[in-house]
Amino acid sequence: MQEFEFEGKTTEEAIEKACAELQVSRDDIEVEVLEPGSAGIFGIVGTRKAKIKVILKKEEVEEEIYPEEEDGLSIAKKALEEILALIPMEGKVEGYTEDGKIMLNVEGDKSGLLIGRKGRTLDALQFIVNKIVNKSLGKKVQVVVDVENYRQRRRDSLIQTALRLGDKAKRIGKPVATNPLNARDRRIIHLALKDDPDLDTRSRGEGLLKKVIIIPKKK
């Protein structure tokens, strides 16, 4: 909150001066009269200048128009743009909100630098942007960062893999394992095969990366 003090012969004059100097309209400021000022006797003895405190109102109107999600969106977008600029990496960030989640997509990274091996750089960016947004909002909001729709493509290919391995498990009648995957990728596999009555899926392993075992059910 910015505060200023102004003086004038009368409080009105002080307010006019404040508006002129700060280049704001009367509606944008809050005025607190510190000393009302006095014309004194015959305007000679005991004249006191009026003193006011002016508080610049933050643009509250704008905040009311945008719901909180939009705020998170602009914070997230700005944070990601800032990081990209410092890498330095040219890229256009597009953002929108969906089911309370903030979705950011970067266009223009043809090299895959921002994706990294198996999306590791992308996950790191997403993690950091999440932290920044949650810190400035003071509450948890999920931010999804994507580059050139990598996540969608990854998801499609994981579903394909799940279906292929599911078929294999049924054909050979034995459990089949995927590569070690992170939690999000494993979830995609589990969900892809959830509705298959002949298959069961389980995660196996330790640490962040685990394999998904696809088990054919005995009839």
Q: Which stretch binds another protein (CB under 8 A): 46-54, 116-124, 151-159, 186-194?
A: 116-124
Q: Which is nearer to another protein, 87 or 172 (CB)?
A: 87
Secondary structure class of 85 (helix, strand, coil): helix
Residue 154's SS3 state is helix
Q: Which is nearer to another protein, 89 or 159 (CB)?
A: 89
Q: SS3 of 209, please?
A: coil
Binding segment for another protein (CB under 8 A), chosen from 37-45, 118-126, 144-152, 176-184, is 118-126
Dihedral of alpha carbons 166, 172, 173, 176, sign: negative
From the CB of 84, what's the least distance to another protein, in Å?
A: 10
Within a 10 A sphere around the Cβ of 167, how many other Cβ atoms? 14
Q: Which amino acid is at 132?
A: I
Min dist. Cβ of residue 96 to another protein (A): 22
User: Could you tell me how many residues of this chain bind another protein (CB under 8 A)?
Assistant: 21
Q: Which is nearer to another protein, 52 or 125 (CB)?
A: 125
107 contacts another protein (rule: CB under 8 A): no
- DSSP state letter for 118: G
Length of the chain: 219
Q: How far is the CB of 29 from another protein (least distance, A)?
A: 29
128 binds another protein (CB under 8 A): yes
Strands, E assignment, 46-169? 50-56, 92-98, 101-107, 143-147
Burial of 6 (0-12, 13-18, 19+ CB in 10 A): buried
- Segment contacting another protein by CB under 8 A, of 109-117, 152-160, 165-173, 175-183: 109-117
Task: Please report whether residue 79 would count as binding another protein according to CB under 8 A.
Answer: yes
Select the span of 30-38, 130-138, 147-155, 181-189 touching another protein (CB under 8 A): 130-138
Nearer to another protein, 88 or 173 (CB): 88
Q: Contact between 135 and another protein (CB under 8 A)?
A: yes
189: Cβ contacts below 8 Å, ≥ 6 apart: 158, 161, 162, 178, 181, 201, 212, 214
Q: Which of 39, 87, 172, 183: binder of another protein (CB under 8 A)?
A: 87
